[in-house]
Amino acid sequence: MSSLAYVPLKLQSGRVVRLTRPAHPADIIYKVLYPFQRETVDRMLLRKKVLVALEMGLGKTICTIAAAERLIAVDKVGGGIVIAPASLKYQWAAQIDRWTRGTANVLVVDGPPQERKIQYQLVAAGKVEYCIMNYEQVLNDWPLVKNLPRDFIVLDECFPESTLIDTPSGPRAIEDIHPGDPVLNVLGACAVTGVRRVYKTRLLRVVRDDGREIVCSLEHPLLTSSGWQPAVMIT
């Protein structure tokens, strides 16, 4: 199972500069979507804080790109941050390039610290519409990342163990979900086609002001006053 959380944010540090494109592909992307994908995009734009739990292969990535492109097209957002596992960063870049016909301004954060610092400066200057980074970079580069302008955040592959999944019989922990089990998503009840366990070497301990603790992965989404945020971005 995998998920994408799409979170438009009210900026505190200034709006991303809008970049001019030779042609905007938002309507083109929307036209090639299946009806259930269009419904997903419409719901993302309407609710603004959404967990997209479509099954593998049903288009979570294209739905997210389509939603961002529609907001960019009407000048409601200038750019944002995509946080994904390191192994998927360039896949994200390729998909954005594909569906925007090469017109989007995409930056994949990579390289040693000094190179990443220069890349963050490009984002801070408003020269990037999609800044793609992995969760470890968010943690290691937090003093720079926390001040980056962003109109939206996308969290990819963010289900840790113990995440509750909606099923027809009620919420169940993701580790208790098996192939063939029914789960609920935008299509209704669908059967799980496969389960993949990913082991994390780094976890965070988040301590609430009431003393309660949450131990979770870096990318675990937590609801804050600013919307859903990955645990690694909460201070």
pLDDT confidence of residue 120: 95
In a domain, 220, yes or no: no
- Between 118 and 87, residue with greater pLDDT: 118
Cα–Cα distance measured from residue 32 to residue 34, given in angstroms and rounded to the nearest whole number: 7
Contacts with 200 (C-beta within 8 Å, 6 or more apart), sequence order: 160, 217, 218
**The pair of three-digit structure tokens given for residue 217, joined into one six-digit string:** 């992965």
- Tally of domains in the chain: 1
CB 186 within 8 A of CB 3: no
In a domain, 203, yes or no: no
**The pair of three-digit structure tokens given for residue 3, joined into one six-digit string:** 């998920």
What's the pLDDT tens digit per position in 13-64?
Answer: 344 444 455 555 667 787 788 888 888 888 888 887 777 877 667 788 899 9
By residue range, what is the domain housing residue 35?
A: 4-160
In a domain, 58, yes or no: yes
In a domain, 179, yes or no: no
| pTM of the full structure | 0.63
Place of tokens 């083109």: 28
User: Given a cut of 50, is residue 161 above it in pLDDT?
Assistant: yes
Cα–Cα distance measured from residue 178 to residue 183, given in angstroms and rounded to the nearest whole number: 10
pLDDT confidence of residue 144: 93
pLDDT confidence of residue 60: 87
In a domain, 116, yes or no: yes
Q: HSE (CB half, 13 Å, CA atoms) of 115?
A: 7
The partner residues of 206 in beta bridges, in order of sequence, read 214
In a domain, 111, yes or no: yes
